Amino acid sequence: MNEEDLRKLRLAGGIAARALRKGQDMVDEGVRLLDVAEEVEAYIISNGARPAFPVNISINEVAAHYTPKAGERGVFDAGDVVKIDVGAHIDGLIGDTAATVEVSSRRNQDMIASAERARDIVMEIIGEGMPINTLGQAVESSIKADGFLPVANLTGHEVKRYDLHAGLTIPSVDDGNSERIEDGMVLAIEPFVTNGEGLIKPGRQGNIFRLRDGGKVRDESARELHRLIREEFGTLPFCDRWVQDLMPRANIHLNKLVRHGLVSGYATLVEVKRGCVTQSEHTVIIRGRKGEVSTLP
């Protein structure tokens, strides 16, 4: 990794971290989810980066992949456990970070702290040569010692340029994978903790999309939207709020692209027993035997 890329990774990570803090501070009873998402994304842009994906605001049993639609009026309620997941990139070099906030309550503070503690354990031990299953074992042991379960089928992930989920996956359990971490890797470490069964399943179709290879559509406007999406977002995820600015009636043409297989959507991810879920995430750059956390404010 050259010094310029390292500089951009650090800069993107810092912007993502401060944007996340802004989102956390906004969450309160009666506040619109849409306002938080738009404020956080605007902060990223105003500070010289671009959102690496739409801000995820996933509540209670929804673990991930929810972002509000354009015009959505939903608000936070007392007792909500809110996961905010934020990504920023500079020239495709990504900082990915997340935290959990509880609205007007402290009933789930132990579970929020458990996710943070498991994340921080990995930050302390991760480095070149570390087996992946050792990281998973550390996370699993920490969370179970707190009286909760890790979400076994949600993982951290390697991050590459313009590729949010690339290469390695980093589980929150010991999955037996003894493959080793390599110098220069960029990894997003994100334990999910639950008081449910410890598994997630696909829920309703969400509002996050990505381009797919293949597929054809005859509609000229839909083809033009496809071109604009590729030009604006490339291989990174996007949402309907973002495509509205690209051309008139963009959402109609987006639906055509989905039907013809040129765009796919992410389903929301829901705990199988509807248990509450918490999340905490940092991006870490592997530099020899140490990991450098890039997503600090």
Is 110 part of the annotated catalytic residue set? no
The tokens for 1 are 């990794």
- CA pair distance 277, 245, nearest whole angstrom: 33
Q: Which of 38, 165, 174, 219 is catalytic?
A: 165
Q: How far apart are CA 43 and CA 48, in angstroms?
A: 9
Q: Which of 65, 89, 157, 260 is catalytic?
A: 157
Q: Any residues with CB less than 8 A from the CB of 138 and at least 6 apart, and which?
A: 118, 121, 122, 125
The answer to whether 190 is a known catalytic residue is yes
Options 41, 61, 80, 85, the catalytic residue: 85
Task: Identify the active-site residue in 61, 281, 282, 292.
Answer: 281
What's phi and psi for 6, nearest 5 deg? -65, -40
Calpha distance 164→96 (Å, rounded) = 9
- The whole-angstrom separation of Cα 132 and Cα 293 is 18
Q: What share of the chain is helix, strand, coil (3-state, %, to 5)?
A: 35, 30, 35
Q: Which residues pair with 89 in a beta bridge?
A: 50, 94
10 Å CB burial of residue 48 (0-12, 13-18, 19+) is: exposed
Catalytic residue among 190, 240, 271, 292: 190
Contact 95, 15 (CB under 8 A): yes
Q: Is 65 a catalytic residue?
A: no
- Answer yes or no: 89 catalytic: no
Q: Is 165 a catalytic residue?
A: yes
**How far, in Å, CA of 230 to CA of 210, rounded?**
9
Q: Which residues are catalytic?
A: 85, 96, 157, 165, 190, 281
